[in-house]
Amino acid sequence: MSLELLSSTKVFDGRQQQYRHYSDTLDCDMRFSVFLPPLSDRMEKGQRFPVLYWLSGLTCTDENFSQKAGAQRMAAELGIALVIPDTSPRGDNVPDDGDYDLGQGAGFYLNATQAPWKSHYRMYDYVLEELPGLVEANFPVTGRRAIAGHSMGGHGALVVALRNRGRFTSVSAFSPVCNPISCPWGEKAFSAYLGADRSSWEEYDATVLVSRATEHLPMLISQGEDDEFLERQLKPNALEAAADAAGYPVRIEHHAGYDHSYYFIASFIEQHLRFHADYLLRP
């Protein structure tokens, strides 16, 4: 599969790059961004970087996190590659909707089963299989993976990790949509993408998945207490209650005064990267 390099910028002695490729899974051209830390003596001996996959939120592209989160400094120091996919399939032939919370920019990291979405909206498979395969075939990375995200992307990170035992070393999220089957964003998207059978929605709901989990993956969630979407859309209390009932040791931190923006992410991204490094960099 061919990759087209769109840009490459030096940052903290590493490289922030953006690529385009044709996705068989999504049946369209896709972009993703990669940060590769600087080479070191250990790299010259043939070792490679573990990867943190970052999933962004509604209306975002692969550029929001790479430009606003300030993650490269700590990723360079720790020796962790960052891979940031776009949030949905895109293009003139890809179905869309006039609202910001459905269609292009709002893929919800699921595999759609309903027309007209099902031919292209398969972000779950793309993030789980196609993109890691592409990254691991073309970049100096290992097969050790962690996953994180924000808002809709936090939902995606939790779901992908919880559904795939052993695939990731750890998972974290900022302000995730924790219980999408019971919030307006999730109900709208799931109705369109998955249809009226609400039982099929449960496979993409972190609160439900935590209650069923047989593996206790290291999990960190950061939530701002001044987040405008906290009560109506995000519902971290539902996830926390399900985790407590199931004995799942999720770490949920509430931060006074912080909102839903990338200022919040930038304030705590170092903590999240160090959290993942504890598991990604183990011998």
| pLDDT tens digits, 67-114 | 999 999 999 999 999 999 999 999 999 999 999 999 999 999 999 999
How much is the pLDDT for 283? 82
Active-site option among 56, 88, 151, 175: 151
For the cut 80, the answer to whether the pLDDT of residue 277 exceeds it is yes
Smallest CA-to-CA distance from 132 within 172, 83, 194, 165 is with 83
Active-site option among 222, 227, 272, 276: 227
Q: How many CB atoms lie within 10 A of CB 282?
A: 9
How many residues in the chain? 283
Residue 260 known to be catalytic: yes
Give 13's contacts (C-beta < 8 A, 6+ positions apart).
Answer: 37, 38, 76
pTM: 0.96
Active-site option among 120, 150, 260, 276: 260
Q: How many CB atoms lie within 10 A of CB 11?
A: 14
| pLDDT tens digits, 197-253 | 999 999 999 999 999 998 899 999 999 999 999 999 999 999 999 999 999 999 999
All domains in the chain, ordered by first residue: 3-276 (3.40.50.1820)
DSSP state of 87: S
Q: Say if residues 121 and 112 touch (Cβ distance below 8 Å).
A: yes
Q: What are residue 111's DSSP bridge partners?
A: 122
Q: How many CB atoms lie within 10 A of CB 44?
A: 8
How many angstroms separate the CA atoms of 86 and 132, rounded?
14
DSSP state of 230: I
Region class of 156: left (phi > 0), else alpha (psi between -120 and 50), else beta: alpha
Report the half-sphere exposure of 146 (CA within 13 A, side-chain side): 29
Token pair of 254, please? 């509430």
For the cut 70, the answer to whether the pLDDT of residue 6 exceeds it is yes
Query: Nearest 5 degrees, angle CA 5-CA 61-CA 199?
Result: 125
How much is the pLDDT for 128? 98
